[in-house]
Chain A
Amino acid sequence: MSIFTMPSLGADMEEGKLVEWLVKPGDKVKKGDIVAVVETQKGAIEIEIFEAGEISALLAEPGQTLPVGAPLARLGAAEEAEVSAAVAAPEPAVEAPKAVVPPTPAPASAARPVPPPALGGAVLASPAARARAAELGTALEAIAGSGPGGAILLSDVERYVPSAPQPAAEPVAEDRPKGKPGLDMTEMRRAIAAAMSRAKREIPHYYLTHEIDLQSAQERLTALNRDRTPDRRLLMGALLVHATVTALAKVPELNGRYEAEPYAPSGPVHCGMAVAMRGGGLIAPAILEAQVKDPDAIMAAMRDIVARTRAGRLRNSEITQGTITISSLGENGVDALIGVIYPPQVALVGFGAPRVRPMVQDGAVQPRLAVTVSLAADHRVSDGRRGALFLAEIDRLLQEPAIP
């Protein structure tokens, strides 16, 4: 028996709201089944279970907001055959204690802006009182001190009740600006800020750019799509993603998650796609096992993941397992995109808008379709020389795209 808990869907997630159960007590589940929907900063996420068994009890109600690690359901062994499988697996035994780990409240207070210290000793206060007041967002001037010389003590801050109604530390759900159902734009902006700040703080980025001639790829694509109905047509974006994923085989250290020392690259390529939300914001769900997909399969996966991102129906594995991210501006964008790595990944590939540009071919300037590709990579893991090899390989692959 084990406890199924509120999963962490990213380092910046502290809690999630249970929206819906997709199972009931008595249901048998297998690894990877979607059992619940949880609303997070990234929208509504379908939660997969990572263990087989039978749901013996639901421990949380839809509508409840619960911290990461809170128990959601009790899972019993399903049948005799599955009992032995569960016993044989080492993970279930260590799963249960996780449920009792309390959520750490520290990140929330650290994220709040700290007002500058009072100048020239205008307000006397103990360091602990200042820190607590900053945490609460309370102005020291407003608090009456009971310490020596009227100094404000920690207990004064704790006791202080603002006279005017104070804005709640967390915005009230009903007042938040809403984009999509289940998508909170304020929260999403906060999640992006947390991830990007961490990237700029922790990852020594280096950047490379390269211009790639797409003329022959475009001609091949046009010829291919001419014989296809719209639902089977390929977009240039699918060729760019396919070439990028394939090129990783040559520089595998760019694909992975830097979560422990020493860094070890990932075998499978779970390729994150930065999907712009209509109305603002960004989510980067991953196409899992992209290295085994041909351009048609990549295209199908992109269609699926973009549709589900917009509808707010992603799965937790898709938003927590990415090993590299591609950000593409599409044909109405600008020339180049120099990205910020999505931690703990170690590389981000950016494509500008493909445009017809003057390029030299056979000694003459000709109008050719071209795109600028960029690489932002983690200098702890790779160097410019390896990065350059990677972009050159993407270029080479796009001269001979792997399409019929």
Chain B
Amino acid sequence: MTPTNLRAAFIAELTAVAPDLDPETIGDNDHMQNDLGLDSMDFLNLVSALHKRFGLPIPEADYPQLATTALAVAYLDQALAG
């Protein structure tokens, strides 16, 4: 999966968890909690959705690597390659 496709998949799951977010306005460096207003429940739902979609374990220790869209795409890219 290319980074562009990964980004689209990530944004799709993010906006499913937080339907009021406009996919067009989510910046690559927007912080999930501080900028986009996700709470711990939203974030866990996002991680669950990514787990289901990509079959990755995504342990809690890796959560900081999903803090922004840019970080998350890089993380998913690496995890799927490895």
**Contacting pair B20 A231 (CB below 8 A):** no
B20 partner, pick from A180, A225, A276, beta carbons under 8 A: A180
**In the complex, what residues of A have CB within 8 A of residue B37's CB?**
278
Would you call A229 an interface residue if the criterion is a C-beta within 8 Å of the partner chain's C-beta atoms? yes
- Name which residue of chain B comes closest to A222, CB basis: B60
**A contact set with B: CB distance below 8 Å:** 179-180, 222, 225-226, 229-231, 233, 235-237, 276, 278-279, 302-303, 306-307, 310, 330-332
A230-B47, A278-B18, A279-B20 in contact; A302/B60 too (CB < 8 A)? no
**Contacting pair A235 B41 (CB below 8 A):** yes
Would you call B34 an interface residue if the criterion is a C-beta within 8 Å of the partner chain's C-beta atoms? yes
**Contacting pair A231 B41 (CB below 8 A):** no
CB distance from A276 to the nearest CB of B (A): 7
**Contacting pair B41 A226 (CB below 8 A):** no
CB distance from B18 to the nearest CB of A (A): 6
The distance in angstroms between the C-alpha atoms of A231 and B49, with both chains bound, is 8
The distance in angstroms between the C-alpha atoms of A179 and B20, with both chains bound, is 8
The distance in angstroms between the C-alpha atoms of A233 and B47, with both chains bound, is 10
A231 partner, pick from B19, B39, B52, beta carbons under 8 A: B52
**Contacting pair B60 A225 (CB below 8 A):** yes
**In the complex, what residues of A have CB within 8 A of residue B20's CB?**
179-180, 278-279
Instruction: Give the size of the chain B interface in residues (CB under 8 angstroms).
Output: 20
A226 partner, pick from B18, B33, B34, B59, beta carbons under 8 A: B59
**In the complex, what residues of B have CB within 8 A of residue A222's CB?**
60
The distance in angstroms between the C-alpha atoms of A229 and B59, with both chains bound, is 8
**Contacting pair B40 A235 (CB below 8 A):** yes
**In the complex, what residues of A have CB within 8 A of residue B60's CB?**
222, 225-226, 233
**Contacting pair A303 B39 (CB below 8 A):** no
CB distance from A58 to the nearest CB of B (A): 31
Would you call B68 an interface residue if the criterion is a C-beta within 8 Å of the partner chain's C-beta atoms? no
**In the complex, what residues of A have CB within 8 A of residue B33's CB?**
331-332
- Could you list 9 examples of A-B contacts with CB < 8 Å? A226-B60, A229-B51, A230-B47, A231-B51, A231-B52, A233-B60, A236-B40, A302-B41, A332-B33
- Name which residue of chain A comes closest to B36, CB basis: A278
**Contacting pair A233 B40 (CB below 8 A):** no
**Contacting pair B41 A229 (CB below 8 A):** no
Question: Which residues B5-53 have CB closer than 8 A to chain A?
Answer: 18-20, 33-34, 37, 39-41, 44-45, 47-48, 50-52
